[in-house]
Each structure stands twice: as structure tokens, then as C-alpha cells.
């Protein structure tokens, strides 16, 4: 970048690049203590059936409340966790915490919805992975049908046969499997064929939702419609991610995609706030969201 914009910019970018590196080193060190010092927290975002605006599921999304840097989003520290091998411990904590929380909501008669957690390919391929999940379900006493695992398309690039076997194991136990961020990878459609019958749910990436409109680019909508139809033909549920406007909701509804996740209904919220959402019969549709993405 500095090259393309001329040499003057060098002096502008260098200090901030240094700062980035220092922050990164600092984060790496701090992350080792983040679990024991209770700095990690799960937020929960509802998955909503738009027929009745009722919550039909929740996705657990990790946040790191850093004493100095404030809330650090997963896209900033999950890669660090992966590179340093801390991801196993973090994801074990995520699965355990999400299961325990869901069981707690069930005990309070607040909920009978499944919780989904995001796992990276790396964790997924560890030898003891399935056993670990089973142990967590046993210790939290959560029935397996209330746990779902979201894995991204790009996770599937690695080691096909191992992944396929693990998917089978998990589904045999009764755990749901979702294909996250669908449509962002290099060979999305060929995956659908190769992994046919392995996924319960396809999560249509936000990039497809952003472009939906009734306006003169309406033909773009047909790509999205086609993916929805294809997924349904393959007997998968489809969830639209990142729905922010009423217009998007209407178009998706026309396309018979009724499972919605997005700021239009709710941002991811802390557990206590989510319990309040659960106690409502119906979620209200919010104003169209047009702000910045934030983590407050």
C-alpha cells in the first residue's frame, strides 16, 4: 500500500504498523490468562422464524472484554488463538459455557431452543473432539439435540474423509450441523454435492443479503433465491445471516426463507439480556439498521 500511494505515506503508516505489532504481542500474552481471569464472555443472537417473529434458536458468539482495549471482536483474536494453539482451550470453554447456559434457561422454563457454537476446522479435526463434546453434554446434562455446531465452508478444505467421518459421528449423537458463511468460499456449490446429507442447515452469508432489494438490481436477487431453492431441494434448512432491513426480510420471505438472523431483530446480547428476549412471546422488528457494526 505504501508503495502505491507514494513515499510520504511511509511516515504515516510505519508507527501505526509498529503499534499493531505491539498490540498483537500484548494480546497474545493476555489471551493466555483470558479464561481464568473471566475476560471471555458469550453473547447470544436470536435466530428468528419470521412467520411469527419467534425465537427458534440462538448463536453463541464470543467476546473478549480486555481490561485495556475494551471489547475485542472474535475476528481479531480467534486467529491469534489458532496460531498459538490456544483455540482448543477457548473452544472447549465456548461449548461448555453455551451448553451450561442453555440448560440453565431450560431449567427456568425459558427455553426449548437449540444453541449453536462456532468451531474452527482445526479444533474439529482434533482426535478427542467428539469425545470432548460428549463429555461436555454429559456434565451439563444438555440433550444433544439442543446443541448445534457451525462450521464454515473454508474449514472443509482440509482432510475430507476425516471431516466427513466426524460429521457423521456428531449427527449420529443428535447434534445439529450448520454450514456457516455459505457462498463465500471458492467452491460452494461443489461442496453442497460432496457434503450432501451431512448438514442440517445452510447459513446464507450476509454478503448475499446486503444486495437484496426491490430496486433495479433486482436480478441479483435471483442468485440468492436459487441458493435458497437448492438448499431446500437438498433438504436443508436455510438461515439468512445479517438481515438488517425490512426490505431484505420481505424479499427473503417471498423466497420462502423464513429463518432470519440479524440486527433487524436483535444484535448479539449478553446472557441476561437474551433471557429477557426469551421471555417475550414475539420479537419486535426494529428500525432498519444503518449504523456501524459495534460490540457494545
- By CB under 5 A, the residues from 230 to 259 that bind Mg ion are 241
Of residues 30, 91, 180, 244, which one binds Mg ion by CB under 5 A?
180
Smallest gap from residue 94 Cβ to ligand C2E (A): 4
Choose, by CB under 6 A, the member of 28, 49, 69, 73 that binds ligand C2E: 73
- Check binding of 212 to ligand C2E (CB under 6 A): no
Of 264, 262, 266, 261, nearest to 288 by C-alpha is 264
Per-residue exposure over 212-249, b if at least 16 CB sit within 10 Å of its own CB, e if not: beeeeeeeebeebbebbeebeeeebbbbbbbbbbeebb
- Give yes or no for residue 293 binding ligand C2E (CB under 6 A): yes
Beta strand pairing status for 237-241 and 259-261?
A: parallel
CA nearest to 178, candidates 289, 81, 259: 259
CB of 74 to ligand C2E, least distance (A): 3
Q: Which residue has the cell 446443541?
A: 147
Site string for Mg ion, 138-167 (x = CB under 5 A): ------------x-----------------
Q: Could you say whether residue 150 binds ligand C2E (CB under 6 A)?
A: yes
Question: Quick check: 252 binds ligand C2E (CB under 6 A)?
Answer: no
**Phi/psi of residue 61, each to 5°?**
-125, 130
What's the angle, vertex CA 181, arms to CA 180 and CA 187, rounded to 5? 100
What backbone torsions phi and psi does residue 44 show, to the nearest 5 degrees? -130, 130
All three cell numbers of 181, joined, read 458463511
| Residue 283 found at the interface with ligand C2E (CB under 6 A) | no
Q: Is 62 in the site for ligand C2E (CB under 6 A)?
A: yes
Binding stretches for ligand C2E (CB under 6 A): 45, 61-62, 73-75, 78, 91, 94, 118-120, 150, 180-181, 241-244, 261-263, 268, 293
Residues making contact with Mg ion (CB under 5 A): 118, 150, 180-181, 241
Amino acid at each position: 500500500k505504501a508503495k502505491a500511494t507514494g513515499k510520504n505515506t511511509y511516515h504515516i503508516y510505519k508507527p501505526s504498523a509498529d503499534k499493531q505489532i505491539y498490540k498483537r504481542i500484548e494480546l497474545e500474552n493476555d489471551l493466555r490468562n483470558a479464561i481464568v481471569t473471566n475476560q471471555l464472555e458469550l453473547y447470544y443472537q436470536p435466530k428468528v422464524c419470521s412467520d411469527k417473529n419467534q425465537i427458534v434458536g440462538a448463536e453463541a458468539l464470543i467476546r473478549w472484554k480486555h481490561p485495556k482495549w475494551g471489547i475485542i471482536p472474535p475476528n481479531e483474536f480467534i486467529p491469534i488463538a489458532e496460531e498459538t494453539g490456544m483455540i482448543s482451550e477457548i473452544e472447549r470453554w465456548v461449548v461448555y459455557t453455551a451448553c451450561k447456559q442453555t440448560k440453565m434457561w431450560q431449567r427456568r422454563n425459558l427455553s426449548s431452543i437449540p444453541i449453536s457454537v462456532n468451531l474452527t476446522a482445526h479444533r474439529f479435526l482434533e482426535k478427542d473432539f467428539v469425545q470432548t463434546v460428549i463429555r461436555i453434554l454429559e456434565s451439563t446434562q444438555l440433550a444433544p439435540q439442543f446443541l448445534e455446531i457451525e462450521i464454515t465452508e473454508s474449514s472443509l478444505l482440509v482432510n475430507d474423509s476425516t471431516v466427513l467421518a466426524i460429521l457423521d459421528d456428531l449427527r449420529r449423537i443428535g447434534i445439529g450441523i450448520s454450514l456457516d458463511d455459505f457462498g463465500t468460499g471458492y467452491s460452494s456449490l461443489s461442496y453442497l454435492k460432496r457434503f450432501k446429507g451431512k448438514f442440517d442447515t445452510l447459513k446464507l452469508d450476509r454478503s448475499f443479503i446486503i444486495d437484496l432489494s426491490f430496486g433495479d438490481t433486482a436480478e441479483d436477487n435471483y442468485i440468492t433465491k436459487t441458493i435458497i431453492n437448492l438448499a431446500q431441494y437438498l433438504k436443508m434448512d436455510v438461515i439468512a445471516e445479517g438481515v438488517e432491513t425490512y426490505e431484505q426480510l420481505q424479499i427473503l420471505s417471498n423466497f420462502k426463507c423464513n429463518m432470519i438472523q440479524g440486527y433487524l431483530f436483535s444484535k448479539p446480547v449478553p446472557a441476561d439480556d437474551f433471557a429477557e428476549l426469551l421471555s417475550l412471546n414475539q420479537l419486535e422488528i426494529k428500525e432498519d439498521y444503518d449504523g456501524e457494526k459495534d460490540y457494545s
